[in-house]
Structure 1
């Protein structure tokens, strides 16, 4: 018997002569309730994952194509006029519009049916009769759904942000304060998607009918987008810049930082009082208007692009807090009235 045979013989027996148990290899497979939840919703999860992978691939290719053009035309050292012509704003706009619908789609087709389908079909009653507690069942459902949503929306946010990043200083491509850029980069798309999905789950739990829950969730998701659109700029801290060198021809106007968003423009008097930029429109002449109101310069309110990241995180933190509140409501109410 050679050494290899002896080693195999020794390894196959224990110290008392009994055959040793075969070793098992652990794999990263789902089991128990996790496997059940995944299997129940695997169609929606896999569809979301596949669509995300395809979209990320397209965004990566678009960025590679754009970077080839930019570097070939002297970016970033050359003036924008030399490389901006080959950058297609319509591509950014179309892609951003598509990404902007993702929170609504996820809320309607993933969030609303998540519990409404089980309550309508009677699956919830079956689960309640098993050894698994309603709280654990709900927590697993919400946790797995949230994980898939966060992973997918984070991947899309990073991919779109990297594509838009090299030209973010050019408002003619895509303005940073517009929803097309602001809502599709950083933590905002993740927060919007999570809040919409959890709102859909809560609506489905209350209405207990899949179709009507999807319709109501759609209306709520659209309302959230509208409110977010009008309140987005309120997340920033407005900066004011003034001049005191006159307002007539040849007088210098305030110079805003690159890519800054102008909020308002007004005339400023010697006493510091501001007047609307159209104040002199109905006066006999500009000179009379200047003397009448004692105007000495301009005042401009703006938001710098440097505030974009802080504005996004502030807005996202509000949405995350609302999402946590909705999730707590689902767990508390579902524990008592899941069936």
Structure 2
């Protein structure tokens, strides 16, 4: 009797459960016919990092979040400054009126450009020293790299994930700052004599693709230095020197990225025959005298003459017939930036290739 009752009870329970279960320990939803467990999983599912990506992000989350937060704050301040600048220009009557006549009223905006530009120029150095150098050197120094290698994950995947996440953060942050700074500067971009010369590091290295390229090369160069030295502090010191030298070398070759335009005259160089006028915003590289035979003489030729008549005699004797001016037009700026960035991207790719080659052989 007891057994029979237990059996009937069991059968009843099984039947009841069968009406509310899909046979996979889930509970049926009478309306949709799906299981509540499945529906809850679908509703609660969010895109999130996992595996090696999550591990690397968590390990360096303080640095990554600091960079992204600093970028957001700086971008917001630049956007505000841009609004102030546009309001001033509209009230002043630009471009109908020259900014050279604005005096001290406009100087505060010029000072703001200079301060922000200096900060942006320092970003590749800071990222290289504080993000690139410790990225792998820290793991090599404290033994974390050996722990990772003891797991099922390959060293190549571990290194690749580190480089990918760091590169992504660098591209997002520097790309955003480059975009908003260029947007801020654009209304007065052609005012080289008043605001910023577009060929200077202040403008050229802080707009377009150049900040991204410089920062990536600095960061991955710092990673390579850290991998070779295997100690965090020495790697940071050497990376600082590397990034500073990089900035100096880059500045030295900057003007060679463009195609120099030459304009000449043949009506003499005295009286009303002044040197030829250049397009607005053009950067003058040099100015020379040109002789009848096409030779170039320094513009200081005959400057020691005591009188204008004596100078004219000297110029006639040297067969000076006009001016020769070499310059870079403002219209070449974008092409020069992309050409230079392409060189830096290629160098960065070489550093990455070295890192993977070294990683397979001697990373640990």
TM-score > 0.5 by shorter chain? yes
Any conservation in 2 of the 1:195–1:319 contact (CA below 8 Å)?
Answer: yes
Q: How many positions carry a matched residue from both structures?
A: 328
How do 1:254-269 and structure 2 match up within 5 A?
Answer: 254-269=276-291
Partners of 1:85 and 1:305 in 2: CA distance: 26
Structure 1 residue 252, shift from structure 2 partner = 3.0
Matched, 1:68 2:84: no
| 2: CA distance, partners of 1:10 / 1:106 | 55
Q: How does 1:260-339 map to 2 (within 5 A)?
A: 260-283=282-305, 285-339=310-364
Q: Matched residues in 2 for 1:229 and 1:287: separation?
A: 39
Give the 5 Å matches for 1:91-240: 91-171=112-192, 172-240=194-262
Alpha-carbon offset, residue 45 of structure 1: 0.1
Aligned-pair Cα RMSD in Å = 1.6
Secondary structure at 2:114's aligned position in 1? helix
Of 24-33 and 256-265, the range deviating more from structure 2: 24-33
State which structure, 1 or 2, has the greater radius of gyration over its C-alpha atoms. Answer: 2
Stretch moving more, 292-301 or 105-114: 292-301
1:75 deviates by: 2.6
Paired residue secondary structure (2:48):
coil
2-structure distance, mates of 1:139, 1:122:
18
Residue 51 (structure 1) aligns with: 70
Higher relative contact order (CA 8 A, sep 6+): 1
Q: CA deviation at 1:21?
A: 4.7
CA distances 1:189-248 after superposition (whole Å, capped 9, x unpaired): 000000000000000000000000000000000000110111111111111111111111
Structure 1 partner of 2:38: 22
Whether the 8 Å CA contact 1:117–1:209 is kept in 2: the answer is: yes
Structure 2 SS opposite 1:280? coil
Task: Return the TM-score normalized by structure 1.
Answer: 0.93
1:9 alignment partner, SS class: coil
1-side partners of 2:230 and 2:263: how far apart? Answer: 55
1:285-304 C-alpha deviation (Å, 9 max, x unpaired):
21221221111111111111
**TM-score normalised by length of structure 2:** 0.87
Q: Which residue is 2:274 aligned to?
A: 252
Does the 8 Å CA contact 2:132/2:223 hold for their aligned counterparts?
yes
Distance 1:69 1:162 in 2: 16
